Structures are given as structure tokens and as C-alpha cells.
A and B are shown apart, each in its own frame.
Chain A
Amino acid sequence: MSDVVVRVENVSKRYRIGVAPEKYATLRDTIVKTLKSPLKRIQKSLPAGKDSNGLDAIWALKNVSFEVERGQVLGVIGRNGAGKSTLLKVLSRITEPTEGHVQIRGRVGSLLEVGTGFHPELTGRENIYLNGAILGMKRADIEHKFDEMVAFSGVEKFIDTPVKRYSSGMYLRLAFSVAAHLEPEILVVDEVLAVGDAEFQRKCLGKMSDVAQEGRTVLFVSHDMSAISRLTEETIVLEKGELVYRAPTQKAIDYYMSSGFSKTGERTWTAEESPPADSPFHPIALRVKNSKGQVVDVMRSTEPITIEIEYALDNPIQALRVGIYLRDMQGVYVFTSFDTDSPAEYESMATRPAGHYISRCVIPADTLNEGRYALGTNASIYRNKRFFQDLRALVFNVDGLGAPGKQWAERRRGVIRPRLNWDINQIG
């Protein structure tokens, strides 16, 4: 028998632009509006009032429905603005849905941020109590787990020091260790691990998979595909507020990594996707070409791969660098490279005049292992300005036919597959 603990039915969430964060209404505006159009104002001021003109509203979630069974660990992935955080906010009762409803059986613990309510002037010990209470723990629970939390965080020596004296790593470790000792029946976790050092991230992921093994229900949002694939069995994909795909995690990740990409080895940007008109940089296209110069999405690992970025500059830009990111399907970076990396180009392109450009580079033959890769692009001035960035602009496949070691059918580990010159000497 299925045992559904979270049931989300047709949930939609609308944000009115007028009440979007960072826009404060002032009393004066309200008074002026009230005098101008009393009825309209009254209608608008009602918090749940339906405004007839949907013009200034955006739907952060649209008719999302899904169920989670007891003990299931469900991943949630999607691009920025796809509605992941809004979904978690609705599930953790921070904000109400505009339509639809959710039924949850059991206590929910939500971790949209670690260290919520931490006060810099309080000591580590005091903050553990405060933060624990904010996360909904009982004082007795906190006392009971206190030593364990401190040990997990590894900041024993500084537990009676105000946290404002902590390094950011220590601060995070302490904050996470409080959160990691929450024991709700249903745990809702946002991208809280994006920060923090790699070693501690591993420790946290370990702690979280313990949580999953204890049979607790977990909803886990992340951009880190390797964390998602390690922790979850099933994943839902959100796109522009809608649930577009639900599948076992590997399939869902594949779907996500390739959705929105052209399948042809070329990605073009329309005017509305490109940065605002006042930006001098306009991306036009990103292409991958095989050794015959064809734009395709399947490359051979034994042939060079050409990558082209086509773009226009409205104005001259100083110290511009245009480049690429290459990542594998787990989100692990293979490399980052910019067109002005070499001193010669750096000198000659100190100021890049306005015009229409193609920056081109070649990944040498016998570099990449077989598999799928995501290519991203970036145009920026180092430490100064980022004109454009798309981390997942296109996806291409690399086929290993003829690659070294192909006489064995095994899948070779690693993202690169170099052809190395071995020599074998008999020395005895």
C-alpha cells in the first residue's frame, strides 16, 4: 500500500510585481492612490484579493502536483527562477499558495538556509540554543544533542567565543551541525551546501544520506547534480514554475541537462535572452564543430573539437574576456578557458573595438573521455563586470570509437581520455 506523506495538488503561486521583494510601498503613494481611485486601492490592499489584470503578476509556480511517499528521497532540480525555492517555501509554510493545496502528514523541518537567526554577538553555545529553538527543537532535545552537535561542527575550542570572531567556514560548520541534528519526519532542504569547503560538504552529504537511510522523507533541492544523484532515487524537474518531468534521478538529470539545449551542436540567443540593450555585449551563437567543420552534437574523441562563440560588441570594451566552461553530466568542471588567456591575445585585445566577432578554440584530439558534456559561456572583465553568462548553453556527446583502450568494453573512469605514450621495458 502506498503511504503518501506529502501530497501537492495543483499548487500555484503568484507574485505581484508590485509587492515583489525590495520594492517598498510608502504611505504617501498609498494615500495618493487611495485618493485617486479608492475602489481599486481597497481591492489591491486586500492581501488575497484577486486582481483582475494579471499584467503585473508572475507565476512562480503553476499547477504543480506530485506526491512523495514515506521514506522517499526526492530531488528537485531546475534552473534559477524555475520555482524550486518557492515550492520549498510553500511546503514549509513560509508562504501560502495562491491556488491549490498541500497535505503533509508529519512534522516538517525545513532548511532553506543554515544559521537562520544566528546572532554575531552571541557565543557558539548560545547560538546553538537559539538556532535550535528557531528550527523548532525543544530545549531538552537541544541539551540532549548538544555535545554531538559541537563534535560534528569541530569548533569545540571556540564554543564560548562570539560567532562574529569565527571564520566563515567555522560559522557554517556550526550552523550546519545544528540543522543536521533536526529530526523531523519530513525534511525539506534547499541548496544549503553550495557554500562551505569540500571536505565539510562531504561530511554533510554523509549525514544527510544517514537521514535518508533512517527512513525519513526528504525533499532536496540542489544545483549540484552529483549530490542529487548520490542522495536521491527520484527527481522532479521544474521549468518556469511547472513540473515538467519526474523520473528516476539519472533519467531526470539527463533530461534536465539536455532540456532547453539545441540538439544540433549550436545554441543561438534571441534578443530577449541576451543582456539588456544597454549592455555592450550581445551573444549571438555558440557552436561545436567536428574536424570537417560541421556543426553537430556528436563528436569523436579521436578528432579535434572546435568551439566557436559568435557575438557583437556595441562599444569597445577594455580587458574583455570571452570564454567557455566545460562540465560533465555530474556538474564537475573539466576546464575553463578564455580567449585572452595567452599573453599575446591579452596584449593585442587590451581594448576590443566594437564589431562582430567569433572567438574560436580547439580542444585537441584525444582529450575528452566518451560521454556527455555541457558547454557554458561567459563574457566578462575580470573582477569587474560580467556581461553574460550561461553555464549550460549546449550539450554535446563524445563518442569513443578508436580511443585508446577501446579493445576493452569497460567504461573508462575519468573525464579525460588522453592518448599517453607508454613504453614497456623489461628490466629483469
Chain B
Amino acid sequence: MTELSKQITQEEIIDIHPTSGWSALKLRELWRYRELMFFLTWRDIKVRYKQTLLGAAWAIIRPLVTMIVFTLIFGRVAKLDSEGMPYQLFSFTALLPWQLFSKALSDTSNSMVANRNMITKIYFPRLVIPFSSIISGLVDFGIAFVILIGMMFYYGVKPTSAIWTLPLFLVLALLTALGVGLWFSALNVQFRDVGYLIPFLTQVWLYATPVAYSAQIVSPKWQAVYALNPMAGVVQGFRWALLGTDLGANASLTLSLSVLISILILISGLFYFRRMERTFADVV
């Protein structure tokens, strides 16, 4: 009740006028719309496996099958080094954060176009849409993580004491997906090419990330360049925290670089999105 009367007494004054150039992010307004963000995420989770036969089993099947394919090709045929770990476990540990990332990236990139009818009919801070698209993959991740724990148990691998850092790597993966996704979602409004680019890009990005192979095979002089890919840091971090593999020399430096890159993409993505936002309803 008090909240209601407060709303009435402090009357909002809205000024609508043409704007141009770069604009403020207005994160506080975004915060006020957190319930909408929550409901949109909840909707995505709720409808994700509706009218499917296997339902949430897909959350397990996809990483599992990919792992089997990787094991056959890279583990058995190519005999890639897996840092002393069973190759299955080695690749599965990396596939989980990778699939979380790639789903978040493609959902975010398509989010503005997918929600076009909302954008053209209702006002709300547009950032709500990409923000609400990154979280839903966590449910799949959680389900597949249970399988991972089972596999670790089976192979007798104990998690390291650094397991508490896992959420930090997850956050890094999601922030990277959000940053890149913000750029793409804004571009996608105008250029539908983005829809075709995303699957291709994630494919290439997968091979640029040590998911199927060990980062150790990258020669030291290229390590710095490699660290420009924040997902390389995420995947290595996951293996390090769970399986106790080596993080490599200069780990703190390369990780800091990953974080820095990710934050740069995110901030530039936020501003680019805000800049393009004013034309979304007219163009989408």
C-alpha cells in the first residue's frame, strides 16, 4: 500500500524528444524492469522443451553425443593429448561451458528479431530482451552438470579445491556471450545476415577454443594471441577447477586479458545497442 501511494505522490514526467548519437545506458531503468526480465527468462525456460518427445533429456543428449563424436575422432583416431585425463571426461568438461556459451550467444543474437512484436507494441528498456536471453541455458547446464559429476565419480577424478571458482568462469562465459550477442542482436534488427552468420561463427569459434584439444599444443609464442579469446580462458579454467589440469604458464596474465577483452566487448556492445535502439521499432 505504501508503495502505491508513493507512486502516486511522486509523479513521473516523461520527456519524449528526438535523440541522436550515443546515449546513456540507463541501467537504473533496466533494474526497475527486472521483473519483466525474470518473466521473459522464465518463459524461455518453460517453453524450451514443450511438445518434444524427449524433453529435458535433450540437455544431456546434445553434449553427450558431441562428446562421443569428439572421443571417436579426436581421442581415438587423431589421438590428441588429453593432459592425462580420460578423453571423454576431458572433452565433456569443456563442452558444458562451451554449449552454455554458444546457446547464450545465439539466443541473444536472435532475441530482438524473435521478440519483434513486443518491440513494436510496447515500451520497455530494450536491453531487457538480450539480458533475459542469456540465463535460460543455465538450466541445461545444470542438468548436464549432474552427468559430469557422475562421470568424474566413474573415472575416479576428484574435483580440486579450486572448484569454488567455477561460477566465476561461468559468469565470464555469459558476459562474453552477452557482449557479442548485444552487437549481433542490434545488427540483426537491420541485417538478417546475422542469422546465417551465427551458426558459422560458433563453429569456427569452437575450433579456436580448446574444447576438443588441449591448449598445451598451442605454441608458447601464440599463447598471448590465444588469450584474446575469452572462451579459451573459460574452458581451461573449467578443466583446472574440476580436473586439476595445468592452467599453463602466465595463467593469471592470460586470464586477466580474457576478462579485459570480455568486458571491452560487453561495454562497447551495450553502447552500440543503445545507439541503435531508437530505430529498432521502425526497422525490425
**Chain A residues packing against B (C-beta within 8 Å):** 15, 19, 21, 24-28, 30, 46-49, 89-108, 110, 112-113, 116-117, 119, 121-122, 126, 129-130, 133-136, 138-139, 185
Contacts and interface: CB of A to CB of B under 8 A. Distances in A.
A95 B13 contact: no
A93 B18 contact: no
A112 B122 contact: yes
A26 B192 contact: yes
Contact of A133 (B19, B36, B279): B36
Contacts of A129: 39
B118 interface: yes
Nearest to B278: A96
Contacts of B47: 119, 121-122
Contacts, number: 135
Nearest to B117: A116
A253 to B, nearest CB: 27
A185 B8 CA distance: 9
Nearest to A12: B18
Contacts of B40: 130, 133
Contacts of B276: 47
Contact of B124 (A97, A101, A134): A134
Given A25-B191, A48-B21, A133 B39 contact: yes
B122 A100 contact: no
Contacts of A47: 20, 275-276, 278-279
A105 B47 CA distance: 38
Contacts of B284: 21
Contacts of A122: 43, 46-47
A26 B191 contact: yes
Contacts of A94: 119-123, 281
A104 B46 contact: no
B190 interface: yes
Nearest to A190: B121
B12 A116 contact: no
Contacts of A103: 13-16
In the A-B complex, the 3 residue pairs with the closest CB atoms: A48-B20, A101-B17, A102-B16
B193 interface: yes
Contacts of B191: 24-27, 30
A119 B43 contact: yes
29 contacts: A47-B278, A89-B281, A92-B122, A92-B123, A93-B123, A94-B120, A94-B123, A96-B18, A97-B17, A101-B16, A102-B14, A102-B15, A102-B17, A103-B14, A103-B15, A105-B13, A105-B14, A108-B123, A113-B117, A116-B122, A117-B118, A117-B122, A119-B47, A122-B46, A130-B42, A133-B36, A133-B38, A134-B36, A136-B36
Contacts of B7: 107
A26 B192 CA distance: 7
Contact of A104 (B14, B39, B118, B283): B14
Nearest to B277: A47
B278 A48 contact: yes
Contacts of A138: 35
A135 B18 CA distance: 24
A117 B124 CA distance: 13
Given A26-B193, A116-B122, A122-B47, A97 B18 contact: yes
Nearest to B276: A47
A90 B174 CA distance: 34
B6 interface: no
Given A24-B192, A116-B117, A106 B11 contact: yes
A178 B262 CA distance: 41
A134 B190 CA distance: 24
B16 A91 contact: yes
Given A96-B16, A101-B18, A117-B115, 9 more contacts: A15-B282, A24-B191, A28-B193, A92-B123, A102-B15, A102-B16, A113-B121, A138-B35, A139-B35
Nearest to B42: A130
From A91, A95, A100, A105, residue with most partner B Cβ within 10 Å:
A95
A25 B122 CA distance: 24
B227 to A, nearest CB: 29
Contacts of B121: 94, 110, 112-113, 116
Given A104-B14, A121-B47, A110 B122 contact: yes
A127 B192 CA distance: 29
Contacts of B43: 119, 122, 126, 130
Contacts of A106: 11-12
Nearest to B123: A93
